[in-house]
Chains A and B, each alone.
Chain A
Amino acid sequence: MSAETQRPETKPRMQEPRKQSLLARLPVVHQLRQSVGLQRGMLIAGLIITAVYVISAVFAQWIAPYGFAQLRNASGPFGSQQPPSPSHIWGTTVGGYDVFSRVIWGAQTALEVMVVAIILSIFIGVFLGLMSGYLGGWLDRILVVIADAIYAFPSLLLAIVMSIVISGGQSSLWGGIFAAAISITVVYIPQYFRVIRSEAVRIKNEAFVESAMVIGASTPRIMFRHVLRNSTRTLPLIFTLNASEAVLTLAGLGFLGFGIEPTAAAEWGYDLNKSLSDVTSGIWWTAIFPGLAIVLSVLGVTLVGESLNDLADPRLRGRRAVAAAPVAAASDSEPVDVAPVAAKSGDSQ
């Protein structure tokens, strides 16, 4: 506790150390510390699953025993639709690929698409949302109508149209990844746009922005110094939601045959499409494993997102039960804010 707190009109403040360490202020770490009980359990489970997914994606080439397009090794071809065995622990596909290897490589493809899509849509969506929300007027109205129209449209169909535009529907590795990522970007820009715009509209009416206006601060100064930095609060949440949707959209595109060619990269949706006919003849391994891979990766990221959402909203956040209460703790003249900057919920998409 510093010396100045002894001055008049200041009461000793027990909590809130002046600056927390950088680690503690990182988005997820901060929330992890804040969480308790079931919420903490959900967050940790989500983080673990996500970590497994990211690790298999990044280290795919060391984890996967074979290449994603490998059909044979020294001892000859793998064979088609082989059941799980020591050499192919999850069996082989109808095309003669190793299922386990393709699932691992598929994680890499999905992660690449996810990262590209999110980076693109965050930048464009945030910029447009900020402009639209703060400046208002005709630009705002037109952008809102366009964003709403796109938002209301089935995202998969839009992604299909986009992927036809970009790649004619089929493509090589990075061509395919960018085609998929840009298709997804177009779908998600409206979401970032809507969220940032509504935050900007809300913050525009806060007294601190108006006080910058009456001071005579320039519009760019107000937009970037005051509005933008305060409107990015909900980004980690949408970020996780979109990450999971990106995986699903990519898989959906692949399932409909608009993904990446099997020789260019491994893609879970494509493999599931190919396994569709296997299922009727009781061949389960070609479908179950890529399917579970999708479910787990989406589950992990969504669990993290949901927990972050709850923790950001003081009304939904659980707290530790009260033990014996030290009397001195409440010796502040101001009430201890139970709900600081009440977060608006309900923008559950």
Chain B
Amino acid sequence: MTADSAKTNAAKTNAATTDAAKTVVSITDLDVSFATDAGTVRAVDGVSLNVAAGEVLAIVGESGSGKTVTAKSILGLLPETATARGAIVLSNRAGTSTNDVLSLSKKQLRGIRGSDVSMVFQEPSTALNPVYTVGWQIAEGLRAHGDYSRAEAKAKAIEILGRVGIPDPKTRVNYYPHQFSGGQKQRVVIAQALVLNPGLIVADEPTTALDVTVQAEILDLLRRCRDEFGTAIVLITHNMGVVADLADRVVVMYQGEVVEEADAVTLFQNPQNDYTKRLLASVPHIGQGVLQTAERASAREASWANAAPVVVADHLRIEYPGRFGRSAFVAVDDVSFEIRAGEVLGLVGESGSGKTTIGRAIGGLTKVSGGSLKVLGHEMNGVRERVFKKTRSDIGFVFQDPASSFNPLLTIAECVAEPLIVHGRARDPRSARKRVDELLEAVQLPASFGDRYPHELSGGQRQRASLARAIALEPSLLIADEPTSALDVSVQARVLELFAELQREFGFAALFISHDLAVVDLLADRIAVLYHGTLVEEGTGAEVLGAPQHPYTQRLLASLPVPDPVEQAARREALHTLRAAQTAAS
């Protein structure tokens, strides 16, 4: 047993000795239905679960599994279009009163919200009111539940901000939300949830909107909520790594029902339900790609390394002009790399690192401001669209958001046929149809899907169709910008598999952009790491992930939670050591 989990247990027994292992919330037979345009939809179906005092219960599931709805109903926060049945019995922290949330009046609900149970939201930048200071917003929760003078409320706000790790809370209590970074905003949101010391916090995807390095810090903070404040947490997430890092017990939901419930270690080591097994198998692991990469490398001919690369970036610089005479914002600075024929380069970075900008520059969507970027022999610095247009048939592009990557008014077949028509390979969608059917088959979609409209396809199906469109002209270069980040993990696994297959079959070179190291590792021959617009490290998967050289890569890698509670506990320790060392060094 590692040091950390020992500490967890200590905290738990500690809580148990003070006020006996009791249940904070107990949900029995919860049904929730929504009225939608398409009729009534049952989102939660017969869910029963208990949360003990001072424990972290993770509710895991993919989109549409009903996990968020279940969590929100604990606070009675369902929209008016929803109706709930069953019982949600919530105790206060002292265990002196219990309430059935579903049968409370609006006024009674207000009484328990914030004091008995509170909530942490997914998107910290929208969960804070932009026109009030954070201190005001924290104080408001206090004053909704008792008599606090202005000064008392402010003092409490300062204290709680300090406890969640906001430096210099005395000054910052008067700051507006936009003056904080994303991670700090989430700390403020957590402070708001903690200020009345509720027995339970519902955290709805609390780290999904954050970068992985910030995610690690927020997870540490949530762990402290449990250990120092003794607060129970219901953690809603789709990320198995996050579950492994934080949860004591796990509930797996699928299509509105609970399919499995177990303590965290058991669940990961010995899943019972088929769905859980599939879900766990779909999660990409670091190190999965090493073998595959070696295999591909050995299969290449010796002359391959000498052939002209498909893409060469040489001291590439990309700026966005500033508004109203502000100085320009440098998105990419002094970046050099190359992509050879048939090779997959994985580009990794957090938000704002410039990875998408590089992809867009290669696709001719963003202007190059300095240095050189050669794409298939064309210099992109100062390129004219008329000259570049012919080359476009050699470049395929897959976008991140499956919801908006197709014109909603055209059928899938019309969309996929578009490159064929634009480049004169077919006169109209009808004459292109044969080729379109072949393409759909290549991405494992039935040909009849061509007659559907984009909204009639699921996200995964749309990304497949998007791949079909990208390879329609058999390009020699494919740019995939986070093609799976909007997808559920099981769907992601299948799309990634398909990508690998297509790459093998068509042999295109690819730039694969992602924020997820494990995903990139799965596909890429080489990995490049971007940080604040500069390239900090580049090499094969084994080099970059096996023995990272740059401190940022080290931190990024260490911050990535792995779907195994025991291993993750060890990694967490390693991250803390690394962070301490790096702070000391700088």
| A and B are interacting partners | yes
Q: What's the Cα separation between A10 and B455 when bound, in Å?
A: 14
> Which listed residue, A211, A226, A325, touches B31 by the CB 8 Å rule?
A325
Asked whether B39 lies within 8 Å of A15 as measured between CB atoms, the reply is yes
Say which residue of B45, B407, B448, B449 sits within 8 Å of A208 (CB atoms): B407
For B34, list chain A residues within 8 Å (CB).
322, 338
Q: Which residues of A lie under 8 Å from residue B456 when comparing CB positions?
A: 13, 16, 18
Bound Cα distance from A208 to B365, whole angstroms: 13
Q: How far is the CB of B147 from chain A (nearest CB, A)?
A: 36
* Residues of the A chain whose Cβ atoms lie less than 8 Å from the Cβ of B363: 214
Contact between B400 and A207, CB atoms less than 8 A apart: yes
- Output the least CB separation between B306 and chain A (Å): 30
Contact yes or no, A226 B407, CB < 8 A:
yes
B63: which A residues are within 8 A, CB to CB? Answer: 334-335
| B residues near A329, Cβ cutoff 8 Å | 39-42
Chain B residues with CB under 8 Å of A335's CB are 63-64
Chain B residues within an 8 Å CB radius of A211: 397, 399, 405, 466, 469
Docked-complex contact B33 and A322, CB < 8 angstroms: yes
CB of B361, distance to nearest CB on chain A (Å): 12
- The answer, yes or no, to whether A9 is at the interface (CB within 8 Å) is yes
Contacting B at CB under 8 A, from A307-343, are 319-327, 329-338, 340-341
> What are the residues of chain A within 8 A of B461 when measuring CB–CB?
9-10
Say yes or no: A332 contacts B392, CB within 8 Å: no
Q: Which of B38, B418, B444 lies in contact with A215, CB distance below 8 A?
A: B418
- Bound together, the chains give a CA A213 to CA B418 distance in angstroms of 11
Q: Are B399 and A207 in contact (CB under 8 A)?
A: yes
Q: Is A347 in the interface zone, CB < 8 Å from B?
A: no
Produce 1/0 per residue, A208-231, CB < 8 A to B.
Answer: 101111111110010001100110
Q: Name the residue among B42, B395, B455 with the largest chain A CB count within 10 angstroms.
A: B42
- The answer to the question of B237 belonging to the interface, with a C-beta cut-off of 8 Å to chain A, is no
Please name all residues of chain A whose beta carbon is closer than 8 Å to the beta carbon of B419 when the two chains form the complex. Answer: 215-216
Q: How large is the interface on B (under 10, 10 to 19, 20 to 34, 35 or more residues)?
A: 35 or more
| Max chain A Cβ within 10 angstroms of own Cβ: one of B37, B62, B390 | B37
With A325-B33, A330-B42: A216-B392 Cβ-Cβ less than 8 Å: yes
A148 contacts chain B at the CB level, 8 A cutoff: no
* A236-274 to B contact mask, C-beta < 8 Å, 1/0: 000000000000000000000000000000000000000
Contacts of A87 in B (CB 8 A): none
Residue A14 lies at the interface, judged by CB distance under 8 Å to chain B = yes
A171 to B446 Cα, complex, angstroms: 66
By a CB distance below 8 angstroms, the chain B residues around A334 are: 63-64, 458-459
Q: Which residues of B contact A319 (CB under 8 A)?
A: 35-37, 81
Q: Are A327 and B42 in contact (CB under 8 A)?
A: yes
B408's contact among A7, A230, A332, A333, by CB below 8 Å, is which?
A: A230
Question: Which residues of chain B are near A15, meaning CB under 8 Å?
Answer: 38-39
Q: Which residues in B have their C-beta under 8 angstroms from that of A212?
A: 407, 418
Taking a contact as CB atoms under 8 Å apart, the answer to whether A216 and B422 are in contact is yes
For A36, the closest partner residue in chain B by CB is: B35
A208: min CB distance to chain B, Å = 5
Contact of B224 with A by CB under 8 A = no
Q: Contacts A210-B365, A214-B395, A325-B41 known; A230 to B407 CB distance under 8 Å? A: yes
Beta-carbon contact of A207 and B401 below 8 Å: yes
Q: Does B83 touch A at the CB level, under 8 Å?
A: yes
Which of B45, B256, B364, B407 sits near A214, CB closer than 8 Å? Answer: B364
Q: In the complex, A337→B64 CA distance in Å? A: 10
Residues of A within 8 A of B404 (CB): 206-208
Q: Are B448 and A2 in contact (CB under 8 A)?
A: yes
**Shortest Cβ distance from B40 into A: residue:** A325
Please tell me if B460 contacts chain A, counting CB pairs below 8 Å.
yes
Q: How far is the CA of A322 from the CA of B35 in the complex (A)?
A: 5
Tell me the complex Cα distance, A324–B39, Å: 11
Q: A213-B365, A214-B397, A329-B42 are in contact. Are A338 and B392 (CB under 8 A)?
A: no
The interface residues of chain A lying within 8 Å CB-to-CB of B364 are 213-214
Is B150 part of the contact surface with A, judged by Cβ < 8 Å?
no
Say if the beta carbon of A34 comes within 8 Å of chain B: yes
Which residues of chain B from 4 to 37 have any CB-CB distance to chain A below 8 Å in the complex?
31, 33-37
Give the nearest-CB partner of B399 in chain A: A207
Which of A15, A217, A319, A322 has the most CB atoms of chain B within a 10 A radius of its CB?
Answer: A322
Chain B residues near A210: list those with CB within 8 A.
365, 397, 399
A215 to B396, CA, bound (A): 7
Residue of B nearest to A227 (CB): B407
Q: Are B448 and A340 in contact (CB under 8 A)?
A: no
Q: How large is the interface on A (under 10, 10 to 19, 20 to 34, 35 or more residues)?
A: 35 or more
**B299 located at the interface, meaning its Cβ lies under 8 Å from any Cβ of chain A in the complex:** no
> Whose C-beta in chain B lies nearest to the C-beta of A208?
B407
Instruction: For the complex formed, measure the closest distance between the CB of A42 and the CB atoms of chain B, giving whole angstroms.
Output: 19
A211, A322, A338, A340 — which one has the most chain B CB atoms within 10 A of its CB?
A211
A7 (CB) vs chain B CBs: closest residue:
B446
Q: In this assembly, does B277 line the interface, its C-beta being within 8 Å of a C-beta of chain A?
A: no
Question: Contact mask B385-402 → A, CB, 8 Å, 1/0?
Answer: 000011011010101110
- A320: min CB distance to chain B, Å: 5
Does any Cβ of A come within 8 Å of B178's Cβ?
Answer: no
Residues 41-61 (chain B) with a chain A CB within 8 angstroms: 41-43, 45
Would you call B508 an interface residue if the criterion is a C-beta within 8 Å of the partner chain's C-beta atoms? no
Q: A218 and B365: CB pair below 8 A?
A: no
**Contact: B418 with A217, CB < 8 Å?**
yes
With a cutoff of 8 Å between Cβ atoms, the chain A residues found around residue B390 in the complex are 216
> CA–CA, A195 to B480, complex, Å?
33
Q: Nearest Cβ in chain A — how far from B61, in angstroms?
A: 11
Return chain A residues, CB-CB under 8 Å to B512.
none
A206-B34 Cα distance, complex, nearest whole Å: 30
Task: Report yes or no: B392 in contact with A214, Cβ–Cβ below 8 A.
Answer: yes
B255 interface residue (CB < 8 Å to A): yes
CA distance A85 to B413 in the complex (A): 69
Query: In whole angstroms, how far apart are the Cα atoms of A86 and B256 in the complex?
Result: 70
Q: A4-B448, A211-B399 are in contact. Are A336 and B423 (CB under 8 A)?
A: no
Smallest Cβ distance from A69 to chain B, in angstroms? 49
State which of A2, A13, A332 has its C-beta within 8 Å of the C-beta of B64: A332
Residues of A within 8 A of B209 (CB): none
The reply to whether B33 and A221 form a contact with Cβ atoms under 8 Å apart is no
Contact partner, B40, options A326, A333, A337, A338, Cβ 8 Å: A326
Q: A230 vs B453: C-alpha distance in the bound complex, in angstroms?
A: 14
Chain B residues near A215 (CB-CB < 8 A)? 392, 397, 418-419, 422-423, 469
A325 to B256, CA, bound (A): 13
B256 touches A330 (CB 8 A): yes
Q: Which of A151-166 contact B (CB under 8 A)?
A: none
B406 within 8 A of A: yes
Nearest CB of A to B449, in Å = 7
Contacts of B31 in A (CB 8 A): 325
Given A34-B37, A210-B365, A214-B363, A341 contacting B408 (CB threshold 8 A)? yes
| Closest A residue to B393 using CB positions | A216
Given contacts A215-B392, A216-B423, A330-B255, 12 further A-B contacts (CB under 8 A): A9-B444, A15-B39, A16-B38, A16-B456, A208-B404, A210-B399, A217-B422, A319-B37, A329-B40, A330-B45, A335-B64, A336-B41
Interface residues, chain A, with chain B CB atoms under 8 Å away: 2, 4, 7-10, 13-16, 18, 34, 206-208, 210-218, 221, 225-226, 229-230, 319-327, 329-338, 340-341
Show 20 residue pairs from A and B whose CB-CB distance is below 8 angstroms, ordered by the A residue: A4-B446, A9-B460, A10-B446, A14-B39, A15-B39, A207-B405, A208-B404, A210-B397, A211-B399, A217-B418, A217-B422, A230-B408, A319-B35, A319-B36, A319-B81, A329-B41, A330-B42, A330-B256, A333-B62, A334-B63
Q: Which 9 A-B pairs have the closest CB atoms?
A: A335-B64, A216-B392, A325-B33, A15-B38, A207-B399, A207-B405, A4-B448, A214-B397, A319-B35
